[in-house]
Structure 1
Amino acid sequence: MNWLFGRPHKLAQSSLAGAPRARAGATFAARLTFDAVEKRYDERVAVRGFSLDVAPGEIVCLLGPSGCGKTTLLRLAAGIERPTGGRILVNEREVAGPQRFVQPEDRGVGLMFQDFALFPHLTIVDNVAFGLKALTREGARREALLMLSRVGLERYADAYPHILSGGQQQRVALARAIVPRPAVMLMDEPFSGLDVQLRDAMQEETLALLRETRATTMIVTHHPEEAMRLGDRIVVMRAGALVQSGRAEELYRQPASLFVARLFSEINEIEVTVANGHIATPIGRLAAPGIADGAAATLCIRERGVGLLSAGGNGSADVPGIRGRVRSAKFLGDAVRYEVVAEGFDAPLNVRTVAGEALGEGREVRLAIDSAEALIFPSNGDKSP
């Protein structure tokens, strides 16, 4: 469902008749700070030692598998849940901590969940106006109509939610969450119920609206591509804890762990042993800093980081690269995923290339692998995604 917290700010009146989409009014963005926050449910720890500072107007995506504590963190920020330990601050003002707890409606925070939860017995405009309790009925309707105009649905103002498509319902839910002008906007997987094409369009629409309102925003997702598209910064969570945070390119190119690498890339994982600070591989001798001699390590090669060239029917030596043979090829629309038996590797490598004329099963190929793109992590036997 959608929870609307915070006190609305008046907007300038304007006529909607025949007008283009209105722009959403800006809010006063707030700094959101988590200071060693913990949340326990009996013996289960949902959030552990979580610290993060979200700058005013910043859009942060919380990324991680189901059950890692992302939604719990949003509920703590909104005031639906009380933290077991640590503090939460909005603009340096403590809203949750050992000695203080500010009620949700006094935090200036909006929370939007994935199922939209529009009230079926209320018209679209009344759904949007639902959180504007501080205004008169006429004032609330005027503000709701302005926001509906912004999301392109003013013509449905007096209709009921059941006539709307999934994407239209998502727009109404977003309008209802934004119209009180919350200083902090919290969104829990808002696009998960939409099909792929509609999801892309709604992500762009939502991002534009958030930029206009300049609300500080946290968006929960378990889709890395969605996080990279929407977030100024991405925060990766696992088992209730913060694993790594940074810009999308940083997390992709310098993942802090094998877990993060798996989130952002399809990778081949090759188990190796460290000797004299290095590992010996078919693509050369690579440094393995921070891993003890004799310890097991995991060499990661991105599927999209392998170049594939046909070597002709006889595997001609004048084509550079590691010799290999195509074991299978799968057409995936804009890409082809190959399974290639490669010289020096105990197991076949998976390779993704831009779609073109597919190399058939049994074709002799050469693989070009840039050692600078290889990632090396300590092995811990963890095969979970």
Structure 2
Amino acid sequence: MTNWFISTSGKTRSGEPAPGKARVRAGATFAAKLTFDAVTKTYGERPAVDALSLEIAPGEVVCLLGPSGCGKTTLLRLAAGIERLTSGRILISDREVAGPARFVQPEDRSVGLMFQDFALFPHLSILENVAFGLKGLPREEARREALSILSRVGLERYADQYPHILSGGQQQRVALARAIVPRPAVMLMDEPFSGLDVQLRDAMQEETLALIRETRATCMIVTHHPEEAMRLGDRIAVMRAGRIVQTGRAEDLYNNPAALFVARLFSEINEVEVPVRAGQIATPIGRLSAPGLADGARATLCIRERSVELVPASGNGKDAGTALKGRIRSAKFLGDAVRYEVAVEGFDAPLNARTVSGPQLKEGSEVAVRIDPVAALVFPSNDDKTP
């Protein structure tokens, strides 16, 4: 894998640092705590961010995850000072930077901001773009700092060129260098990898995270890709309709989603509506607890596609009592997995199953279907099918 953040002046052809050449490192800064205290931002009568509270620890990377229009970018712009909040407070290291009677200008917040479209200045050279945030330094010192970070991202040879000659990935690296060179205490990134192809996106995610760790900046990354959030964030904050639905580590949100909305974000699931009786639901895989739901209410049984195990039927009754009978209705090859639609006894509608790619089961074949009840999730039913 190419390492974009190693100086090309000290690399072998394989991309590894040449013997005796030290890796160029970014300067460290003092990480800051970022606090949102009951923050609200309205446009007209519609709240884009609604009484939201969140605390990000010094040096922590938190990903804001949610569908388009849920308020993620608005919250980032409020933290940067590009937007003024309607009510609530924003604090950086317990210093109020936005509140009812206080507003600190963006340039005085020690915040770095990286936009989705990179926002490079077309009339400035690559070096001038990177040095743009160093106006407080003497010209030669600013030039040295900018060249150093360009070397760190492997683009110093383009210092005197202009952004239009660069590829999308190279422009992304310039935008990252420009945001990080002032050594901000807080780094804010608005879907920074959305315009990159898959292979480059994976490489840039790894290298961007490495650079953020080196600088020790507190970081908030906006994304609508769950896998990206799981890959990058120490914690994930799931947003919906201007509010935080759940925060936690990736494994916590995956294994213990607080709502059906969160479960849908992190895995492909089968949803089956079942009536509640005496705090339980009766399902083909057994009786499951439905705490907090009244008798007669409807619950949604969620079964992850990857939790549905398919085994060719033995035909000798060996599977009886340990599995449900099923029939393959369709199979779709997806590269590293196969997605099956399976008619399963006891279920009114077919279930989807996703298995690791291997010998493919044929359409129409009989299978034994095993579903671990422990892996099933139960939520109150609603008519909302988003995201």
- Short-chain TM bin: over 0.9
Comparing 159-168 with 178-187, greater Cα deviation is found at 159-168
Look up the equivalent residue of 1:64 and give its one-letter code.
G
RMSD: 1.3
Cα distance per residue 1:242-290 (max 9 Å; x no partner)? 1000000000000000000000010000000010111000000111111
The corresponding residue for 1:48 is 50
The corresponding residue for 1:218 is 220
The corresponding residue for 2:13 is none
The offset of 1:17, in angstroms, is 6.2
* Matched-pair contact (CA < 8 Å) for 2:8–2:154: no
How do 1:82-101 and structure 2 match up within 5 A?
82-101=84-103
Task: Summarize the Cα distance change of 1:124–1:202 in structure 2 as closer, same or farther, 3 Å threshold.
Answer: same
Residue 71 (structure 1) aligned to one of 66, 70, 73:
73
The corresponding residue for 1:155 is 157
The corresponding residue for 2:3 is none
For 1:97 and 1:245, the matched residues in 2 are separated by 24
Comparing 154-163 with 94-103, greater Cα deviation is found at 154-163
The corresponding residue for 2:373 is 371
* Matched-pair contact (CA < 8 Å) for 1:69–1:239: yes
Unaligned runs of 5+ in 2: 1-6, 11-20
For 2:343 and 2:9, the matched residues in 1 are separated by 66
* Matched-pair contact (CA < 8 Å) for 1:21–1:149: no
Helix, strand or coil: the match of 2:112? strand
The offset of 1:120, in angstroms, is 2.0
Cα distance per residue 1:301-323 (max 9 Å; x no partner)? 000111110115xx442134111
The corresponding residue for 2:146 is 144
For 2:70 and 2:85, the matched residues in 1 are separated by 16
How do 1:1-385 and structure 2 match up within 5 A?
18=10, 19-312=21-314, 315-319=315-319, 320-385=322-387
For 1:225 and 1:367, the matched residues in 2 are separated by 28
Helix, strand or coil: the match of 2:277? coil
Helix, strand or coil: the match of 2:79? helix
Task: Summarize the Cα distance change of 1:136–1:327 in structure 2 as closer, same or farther, 3 Å threshold.
Answer: same
For 1:367 and 1:26, the matched residues in 2 are separated by 54
* Matched-pair contact (CA < 8 Å) for 1:340–1:348: yes
The corresponding residue for 2:18 is none
The corresponding residue for 1:8 is none
Look up the equivalent residue of 1:145 and give its one-letter code.
L
Look up the equivalent residue of 1:102 and give its one-letter code.
V
For 2:195 and 2:298, the matched residues in 1 are separated by 42
Comparing 72-81 with 316-325, greater Cα deviation is found at 316-325
Look up the equivalent residue of 1:318 and give its one-letter code.
K
For 1:143 and 1:338, the matched residues in 2 are separated by 55
The offset of 1:163, in angstroms, is 2.1
Give me the TM-score of the superposition, normalised by structure 1.
0.94
Helix, strand or coil: the match of 1:130? helix
For 2:71 and 2:43, the matched residues in 1 are separated by 12
Look up the equivalent residue of 1:383 and give its one-letter code.
K
Look up the equivalent residue of 2:199 and give its one-letter code.
Q
The offset of 1:204, in angstroms, is 0.3
The offset of 1:342, in angstroms, is 0.3
* Matched-pair contact (CA < 8 Å) for 1:21–1:152: no
Task: Summarize the Cα distance change of 1:148–1:324 in structure 2 as closer, same or farther, 3 Å threshold.
Answer: same
The offset of 1:21, in angstroms, is 4.0
Task: Summarize the Cα distance change of 1:338–1:16 in structure 2 as closer, same or farther, 3 Å threshold.
Answer: closer
Helix, strand or coil: the match of 1:357? coil
Helix, strand or coil: the match of 2:103? coil
Cα distance per residue 1:149-179 (max 9 Å; x no partner)? 1111122222222222211111111000000
